[in-house]
């Protein structure tokens, strides 16, 4: 490359990196993946090494992050917050190891050849510094530009995993003088999915990933919003403790745990590089089953005195690196755009993709959410797109590669008529909705599947294929028809023989005594999920008073707002629904309300399984508390289980729970559920 070419390329890279860094750090809305950013960053670094005099005075390589956003007070970190070099290749990790060993070898041969490392998950969240004075949280800040961060203390105080006071169970030095703790604020995947769903429904722009969502939540000017986003916080470093010293990273984690922080219990001491590589490979396999996003492994030299010896470069330490996982983004083609009609009549555009392997999972469909999202991304049939998978989130089209667009493509518009039943489609909020209600086969299908689902009426064996046949043959036109089915009806269905008919009949019979809240949920009333259903069941105790409840009356219940109240009242006021309810009752379907014990029983009726580690409570304590809250505690995950509390290290049980669609929560959420905090 000539000098002139290098100069032009450096200018181009610097300007793009500035732009992307701004989008990432200030706007929380990046448009490129971390891997793309890293690649550009490295290219710039290497050009600047070749042509040092061409390095711009404000080169992005000189900075760790971006300047703080206006609106927050700026605060200086106790020490600069460094970044980690990102490595993508095993060979780079070997080079790191070689550099470390070389750096530690003295002329006298004082240091051992083998260096131990601690390997731990690299959280994909937002770096935070917390400062404690005499054990009390006095300040919390974001990374900012590494020297100065934004003072977001008030927001951080709303995160339950951020101790407001260091627990006396930890090292005593925590109670005196200053202690600075660093860690990562992050949004659990379940929370992220729920938040994006709400944003999309409100026609707002969803967050690209949990990290941006966490950053958006922490950098709110209103702490109330931060609080509502339910972030978690994991601590990994003690920077500046006046009265405590820790010799190794694991000792630091142990101390942090004692002070009341969540720490990553998967952190592992590795005797050498091979063990580190194995840890990386293992963790990558488990990545999808973790309740939050991680994007690689942090590798740290296992002795703090050696870390000090190795020191740091301007933006990153020499004693630690991040060995990243391959990105979960791939490029593929949109073969078609299909319109699906859901239980509530919502039309969802779905991209049918040329199947592509995205870090181990074949992806052939990606949701496009609604017309607004489609317009925003302008996805067309024939386009080449980037698709992303984040944890359990449904694959999504991130962006269209516009320069690869073939000629003659057209914008995609959702149809004005329902693709299933041909009825008119209406725009309701952000969505296009089929107006035909349960006369639309797609809606009826979704409605009945939902009703029969495990968490609802739990009619075993009544899955999608059977429901489809029942509808096609005109045997089922509403929920009540299910209870009129006879063995003769079923014998006409494909795949039904004597035994399966008998099973289905008894499954239907067995569903006639549902718990009231599950019954309410099963009805598929708009805005009534399991939580609202429980509130209604607790408040009214039976179906009859609920039928006549007015909007005012409904709104008296804490947790029920005008929108929900309106939906509930409309549902029960509808003559058609009343008729179905009457017929259900006549067929013998009688919901039963839970008998409440004297105290509050927030987990009444739940069958709970604990798996993985707990950080706040011991296992027996957690089990006792679950039982006191009305739950039954089980040891294995099976069909009866309704809730799984998973902690670090959870494995096969967590997987089983995911497969069965059983809700999974973490310890913090469990503590909230039992109302302890």
143 is in an annotated binding site: yes
Q: Which is nearer to ligand IVH, 277 or 322 (CB)?
A: 322
Whether residue 122 lies in the annotated active site: yes
Q: Does 262 bind ligand IVH (CB under 6 A)?
A: no
- CA nearest to 56, candidates 107, 93, 12, 122: 12
Residue 36 within binding range of ligand IVH, rule CB under 6 A: no
Q: Which is nearer to ligand IVH, 68 or 349 (CB)?
A: 68
> Does the footprint of ligand IVH cover residue 503 (CB under 6 A)?
no
Q: Which of 17, 256, 320, 616 binds ligand IVH (CB under 6 A)?
A: 320
Binders of ligand IVH in range 296-315 (CB under 6 A): 298
The residues facing 615 across adjacent strands are none
CB of 122 to ligand IVH, least distance (A): 4
The residues facing 117 across adjacent strands are: 270, 301
Q: Is 627 left (phi over 0), alpha (psi -120 to 50) or beta?
A: alpha
* 659 marked ligand binding residue: no
Compute the least distance from the CB of residue 249 to ligand IVH, in Å.
8
Binding test (CB under 6 A) with ligand IVH, winner from 317, 326, 600, 605: 317
Q: Which of the ranges 316-324, 330-338, 370-378, 447-455 carries the binding residues for ligand IVH, by CB under 6 A?
A: 316-324
Q: Which tokens sit at 467?
A: 């429901």
Whichever of 239 and 587 has its CB closer to ligand IVH, that residue is 239
Per CB under 6 A, the list member of 48, 145, 151, 184 interacting with ligand IVH is: 184
DSSP 72: S
Residues 279-298 that bind ligand IVH (CB under 6 A): 298
Give dist(CA 48, CA 65) in Å, integer: 19
Of residues 319 and 431, the one with the C-beta less far from ligand IVH: 319
How many of the other CB atoms lie within 10 Å of CB of 249?
Answer: 25
Q: Name which position in 36, 45, 83, 344 contacts ligand IVH (CB under 6 A).
A: 83
84 binds ligand IVH (CB under 6 A): yes
- Show Cβ contacts of residue 435 under 8 Å, excluding neighbours closer than 6 positions: 345, 418, 423, 424, 425, 426
Distance CA 347, CA 425 (A): 9
Bridge pairing between strands 294-301 and 117-123: antiparallel
Choose, from 42, 102, 122, 427, the residue flagged as catalytic: 122
CA 281 to CA 284: how far, in whole Å? 5
Give the number of other Cβ atoms within 10 Å of residue 464's Cβ: 12
Tokens representing 540?
């009214």
Write down the least CB distance from residue 581 to ligand IVH, Å: 52
184 assigned to a ligand binding site: yes
3-state secondary structure of 482: helix
239 binds ligand IVH (CB under 6 A): no
> From the CB of 648, what's the least distance to ligand IVH, in Å?
13
Q: Which residue is nearest to ligand IVH (CB)?
A: 127
> Which helix or strand (DSSP H or E) is residue 24 part of?
helix 3-25
Q: List the interface residues with ligand IVH, window 505-564 (CB under 6 A).
A: none
Q: Which of 472, 473, 344, 527 is nearest to 418 (CA)?
A: 344
> Does 37 appear as a known binding residue?
yes
CB contact at 8 A, 370 and 433: no
325 binds ligand IVH (CB under 6 A): no
Task: Say if residue 101 is exposed, middle or buried (CB neighbours under 10 Å; 0-12, 13-18, 19+).
Answer: middle
Residue closer to ligand IVH by CB (options 83, 503) is 83
Q: How many residues bind ligand IVH (CB under 6 A)?
A: 14
Residue 284, helix vs strand vs coil: helix
Residue 84 or 148: the one with the smaller Cβ distance to ligand IVH is 84
Cα-flanking dihedrals φ and ψ of residue 618, to 5°?
-80, 165
Answer whether 365's CB lies under 8 Å from 395's CB.
yes
CB 603 within 8 A of CB 673: yes
Residue 85 interacts with ligand IVH (CB under 6 A): yes or no: no
Nearest to 575 by CA among 563, 564, 565, 583: 583
| Separation CA 109–CA 256 (nearest Å) | 34
- Known binding residue 34? Answer is yes
SS3 406: coil
**Helix (H), strand (E) at residue 95:** helix 90-104
Q: Which is nearer to ligand IVH, 83 or 623 (CB)?
A: 83
**CA-CA distance, 434 to 443, in Å (whole number)?**
9
CB atoms within 10 A of CB 139: 18
Query: By C-beta, is 286 or 454 nearer to ligand IVH?
Result: 286
Residues 114-173 contacting ligand IVH, CB under 6 A = 120, 122-123, 127
Distances, alpha carbon 466 to alpha carbons 5, 452, 473, 475, 507, in Å: 66, 11, 11, 11, 14
- Using the rule CB under 6 A, give the single segment among 37-45, 80-88, 284-292, 544-552 that binds ligand IVH: 80-88
Say whether residue 606 binds ligand IVH (CB under 6 A): no
- Establish if 359 lies at the interface with ligand IVH (CB under 6 A): no
215 forms part of the interface with ligand IVH (CB under 6 A): no
Give the residue, chosen from 72, 192, 236, 540, that forms a contact with ligand IVH under the rule CB under 6 A: 236
**36 vs 83, which CB is nearer to ligand IVH?**
83
36 is in an annotated binding site: yes
Annotated binding residues for NAD(+), written as ranges, equal 34-38, 83-84, 120, 143, 184, 300, 324
Annotated binding residues for Zn(2+), written as ranges, equal 418, 421, 434, 440
Active-site amino acid positions: 122
User: Interface with ligand IVH by CB under 6 A: which residues?
Assistant: 82-84, 120, 122-123, 127, 184, 236-237, 298, 317, 320, 322
Annotated binding residues, written as ranges, equal 34-38, 83-84, 120, 143, 184, 300, 324, 418, 421, 434, 440
């Amino acid at each position: 490359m000539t000098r002139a070419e290098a100069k032009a390329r450096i200018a181009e890279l610097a300007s793009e990196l500035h732009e992307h860094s701004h989008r990432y750090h200030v706007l929380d809305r990046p448009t490129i993946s971390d891997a793309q950013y890293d690649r550009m960053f490295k290219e710039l670094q290497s050009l600047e090494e070749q042509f040092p005099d061409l390095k711009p005075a404000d080169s992005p390589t000189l900075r760790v992050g971006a300047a703080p956003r206006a609106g927050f007070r700026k605060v200086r970190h106790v020490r600069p917050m460094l970044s980690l070099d990102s490595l993508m290749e095993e060979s780079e990790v070997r080079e790191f190891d070689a550099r470390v060993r070389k750096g530690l070898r003295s002329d006298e041969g004082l240091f051992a050849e083998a260096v131990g490392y601690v390997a731990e998950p690299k959280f994909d969240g937002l770096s935070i510094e917390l400062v404690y004075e005499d054990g009390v949280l006095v300040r919390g800040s974001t990374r900012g530009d590494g020297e100065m961060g934004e003072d977001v203390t008030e927001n951080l105080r709303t995160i339950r995993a951020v101790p407001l006071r260091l627990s006396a169970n930890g090292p005593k030095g925590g109670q005196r003088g200053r202690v600075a703790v660093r860690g990562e604020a992050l949004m659990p995947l379940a929370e992220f999915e729920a938040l994006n769903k709400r944003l999309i429904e409100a026609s707002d722009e969803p967050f690209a990933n949990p990290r941006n969502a966490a950053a958006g939540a922490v950098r709110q000017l209103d702490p109330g919003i931060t609080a509502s986003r339910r972030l978690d916080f994991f601590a990994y470093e003690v920077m500046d403790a006046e009265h405590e010293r820790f010799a190794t990273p694991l000792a630091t984690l142990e101390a942090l745990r004692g002070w009341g922080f969540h720490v990553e219990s998967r952190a592992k001491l590795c005797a050498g590089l091979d063990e580190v590589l194995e840890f990386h490979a293992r963790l990558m396999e488990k990545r999808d089953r973790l309740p939050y996003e991680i994007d690689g492994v942090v590798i740290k030299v296992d002795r703090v005195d050696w870390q000090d010896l190795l020191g740091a470069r301007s933006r990153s330490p020499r004693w630690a690196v991040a060995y990243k996982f391959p990105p979960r983004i791939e490029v593929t083609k949109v073969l078609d755009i299909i319109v699906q009609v859901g239980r509530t009549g919502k039309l969802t555009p779905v991209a049918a993709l040329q199947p592509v392997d995205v870090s181990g999972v074949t992806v052939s469909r990606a949701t496009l959410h609604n017309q607004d999202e489609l317009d925003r991304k302008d996805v067309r049939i024939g386009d080449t797109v980037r698709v992303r998978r984040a944890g359990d989130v449904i694959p999504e089209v991130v962006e269209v590669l516009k320069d690869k667009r073939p000629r003659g493509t057209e914008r995609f518009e959702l149809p004005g008529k329902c693709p299933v039943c041909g009825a008119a489609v209406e725009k309701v909020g952000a969505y296009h909705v089929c107006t035909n209600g349960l006369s639309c086969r797609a809606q009826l299908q979704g409605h009945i599947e939902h009703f029969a689902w495990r968490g609802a009426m739990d009619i075993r064996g009544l899955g999608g294929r059977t429901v489809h046949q029942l509808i096609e043959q005109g045997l089922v036109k509403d929920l009540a028809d299910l209870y009129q089915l006879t063995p003769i009806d079923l014998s006409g269905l494909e795949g039904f023989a004597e035994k399966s008919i008998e099973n289905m009949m008894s499954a239907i019979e067995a569903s006639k005594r549902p718990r009231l809240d599950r019954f309410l949920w099963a009805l598929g009333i708009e805005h009534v999920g399991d939580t609202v259903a429980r509130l209604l069941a607790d408040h009214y105790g039976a179906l009859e008073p609920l039928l006549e409840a007015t909007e005012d009356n409904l709104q008296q219940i804490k947790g029920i707002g005008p929108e929900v109240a309106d939906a509930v009242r409309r549902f029960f006021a509808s003559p058609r629904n009343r008729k179905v309810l009457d017929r259900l009752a006549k067929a013998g379907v009688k919901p039963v309300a839970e008998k409440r014990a004297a105290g509050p029983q927030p987990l009444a009726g739940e069958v709970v399984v604990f798996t993985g580690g707990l950080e706040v409570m011991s296992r027996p304590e957690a089990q006792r508390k679950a039982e006191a809250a009305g739950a039954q505690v089980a040891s294995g995950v099976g069909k009866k289980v309704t809730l799984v509390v998973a902690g670090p290290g959870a494995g096969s049980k967590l997987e089983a729970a995911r497969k069965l669609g059983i809700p999974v929560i973490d310890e913090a959420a469990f503590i909230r559920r039992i109302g302890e905090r």
